[in-house]
């Protein structure tokens, strides 16, 4: 009997000495006792805001593209590439200084004719010249709505440089005015597939988040012509982001679109 009790006590001591698995250590034939702690996802970097240059030059920052720089300065990206001798518009470097206005052309002085001695007569008193009247600004471009839908986000610069128009995938997007297509593509972060059209009077219109683009660069379009289809590229829902720009400045499209 004593021998039996001694054997039972010995087995109990041996069972207590078995090592418990450490947290995260895999048991035999099983999964880890404690799953590893997941690291939180790193926050996405915000898209940089381009401030138009006042001296005709712009220094490239992280996240910039030649297309976004050209758009913010009211220029065609081909012109900016030409002014800076760029052969590949997709290759620009952070810190690179780019000309964003056309170079000034110096007018050559016309040669002075004659070389004789001036006549010895008194100089006539010049008559005061009336300054010319400033020309009246008349907006010659008439815009139409680029899509049929409810405005779900208004103009709020600098956060939003246009308006968002609700729509369904595949709904038509039309040119708001006649002009020339200067850019199509996805070269501006945050805008998805977009179309840029240049109009008379220094106006530029932007159509973003399209599903399909139906025009080509340098193509002339008429007002109301279908140029794209509403999509959700680089967006959380199907919509059209629409901008009107006057040169380098974004303006509120609601000031130019018809009320009905």
**CB under 8 Å to 53, separation ≥6 — which residues?**
73, 100, 101
Average pLDDT over residues 99-123: 57
The region of weakest confidence among 45-54, 91-100, 175-184, 242-251 is 45-54
CATH homologous superfamily for the domain 151-255: Glucose Permease (Domain IIA) (2.70.70.10)
Residue 13: which H helix or E strand, with range?
helix 2-16
User: In 19-107, where do the E strands start and end?
Assistant: 57-59, 97-99
Q: Which two tokens stand for residue 224?
A: 């109301």
Residues 75-110: tens digit of each pLDDT: 999 999 999 999 999 999 999 999 999 987 554 444
SS3 254: helix
To 5 degrees, how large is the angle CA 195–CA 200–CA 205? 25
> How many other β-carbons are positioned within 10 Å of the β-carbon of residue 141?
18
Sign of the Cα pseudo-torsion (78, 181, 157, 135, in order):
positive
Max CA distance (Å), the chain: 152
Cα–Cα dist 57/83, whole Å = 11
Tell me which range, 23-37, 49-63, 130-144, is most confidently predicted by mean pLDDT: 49-63
Cα–Cα dist 239/258, whole Å = 20
Percentage of the chain exceeding pLDDT 90: 60
Could you please state the CATH topology (level 3) that the domain comprising 57-99 is classified under. Membrane-bound Lytic Murein Transglycosylase D; Chain A (3.10.350)
Residue 229: beta bridge partners? 172, 212
SS3 192: coil
Domain ranges of the chain: 57-99, 151-255
Percentage of the chain exceeding pLDDT 70: 65
Rg (the chain; Cα; Å): 34
| Model confidence band, residue 26 (pLDDT cutoffs 50, 70, 90) | very low
The whole-model pTM stands at 0.68
User: In the chain, where do the E strands start and end?
Assistant: 57-59, 97-99, 151-153, 163-166, 172-174, 179-185, 193-198, 203-213, 220-221, 226-230, 239-246, 249-251
Domains 57-99 and 151-255 in one fold: no
Cα–Cα dist 59/77, whole Å = 15
In the prediction, which pLDDT does 222 show?
Answer: 98
């Amino acid at each position: 009997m004593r021998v039996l009790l001694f054997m039972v006590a010995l087995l109990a001591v041996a069972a207590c000495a078995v090592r418990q698995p450490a947290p995260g250590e895999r048991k035999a034939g099983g999964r880890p006792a404690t799953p590893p702690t997941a690291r939180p996802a790193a926050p996405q970097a915000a898209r940089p805001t381009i401030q138009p240059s006042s001296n005709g030059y712009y220094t490239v920052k992280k996240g910039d593209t030649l297309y976004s720089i050209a758009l913010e300065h009211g220029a065609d990206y081909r012109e900016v590439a030409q002014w800076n001798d760029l052969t590949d518009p997709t290759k620009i470097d952070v810190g690179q200084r780019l000309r964003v206005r056309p170079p000034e052309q110096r007018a050559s002085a016309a040669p002075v004719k004659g070389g004789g001695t001036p006549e010895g007569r008194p100089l006539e008193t010049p008559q005061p010249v009336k300054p010319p009247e400033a020309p009246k600004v008349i907006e010659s471009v008439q815009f139409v709505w680029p899509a049929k839908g409810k405005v779900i986000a208004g103009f709020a610069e600098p956060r939003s440089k246009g308006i968002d128009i609700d729509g369904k995938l595949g709904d038509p997007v039309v040119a708001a005015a006649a002009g020339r297509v200067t850019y199509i593509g996805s070269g501006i972060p945050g805008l998805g597939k977009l179309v840029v059209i240049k109009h008379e009077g220094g106006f530029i219109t932007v159509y973003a988040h399209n599903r399909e683009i139906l025009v080509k660069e340098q193509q002339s379009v008429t007002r109301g012509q279908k140029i794209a289809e509403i999509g959700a590229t680089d967006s959380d829902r199907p919509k059209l982001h629409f901008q009107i720009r006057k040169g380098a400045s974004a303006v509120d499209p609601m000031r130019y679109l018809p009320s009905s």
